[in-house]
Amino acid sequence: MCIGQRVSDLLKLSPNNLRKAPTGLYIDILQQKTKKAVTVGVADPLVIEILENEFPRRVSQVVFNKQIKALCRMAGIEGLVSGFKNNPKTRRKEIVNAPKYEFVTSHIMRRSFASNYYGKIETPLLMNITGHSKESTFLTYIGTHQNKDALADLFMQQAGVIW
């Protein structure tokens, strides 16, 4: 889903969290980990239609992650990559080569949301949605560092100097 939330918050959503707005649909969330009240706007018409007409049924995190893996497999995300997997015999994580879909979990949605909107949406707004309180933590989370020129460009754009 395109709302940048942890799976623990995502899976607790119900139609009661939805609020119709003049510009689309809002989702009101009380984040479990940070205890922050967040309102996220949903702009995608398909997502709005699904949430308003066929709200997804509640599932566990385990089932959700299995479904994501199955979707990624069907989408052909099968390139071999290295990653950690639990070895049932030793009950320890080991580095193995496996198809990429086997490593995909629900967390990929939250990190992708933050990464894809970084530089397009103001960082404090993204941090509010994702629940990060420090910019340095947020930037580490998405695997980047602050681009000083991008901030200067944003200022110039908002000041009307560049388009």
Residue among 66, 6, 53 nearest 33 (CA): 6
- Give which of 73, 93, 92 is closest to 84, Cα–Cα: 93
Nearest in space to 30 (alpha carbons), one of 21, 40, 20: 40
How far apart CA 27 and CA 19 sit, in angstroms, is 6
Inter-residue contact 71 to 31 (CB < 8 Å): no
Report the C-alpha gap between 100 and 31 in whole angstroms: 29
Neighbours of 37 (CB within 10 A): 9
Q: Which two tokens stand for residue 128?
A: 């509010």
What pLDDT sits at residue 44? 86
Q: If residue 102 lies in a helix (H) or strand (E), which one and from where to where?
A: none
What integer pLDDT is reported at residue 163 of this predicted model? 61
Q: Which residue has the tokens 């994580």?
A: 93
Which pLDDT score is estimated for 162?
Answer: 64
**Cα(82)–Cα(100) distance, rounded to whole angstroms?**
8
Q: Please give the pLDDT value at position 106.
A: 92
Q: In what order do the strands lie in the sheet with 24-30?
A: 18-21, 24-30, 37-42
162: its two tokens: 């560049």
pLDDT at 154: 76
Q: What is the pLDDT of residues 44-90, one digit of tens each?
A: 889 899 999 999 999 999 999 999 999 999 999 999 999 999 999 99
pTM of the model: 0.76
* pLDDT digit string, tens, across residues 123-146: 999 999 998 889 888 998 988 876
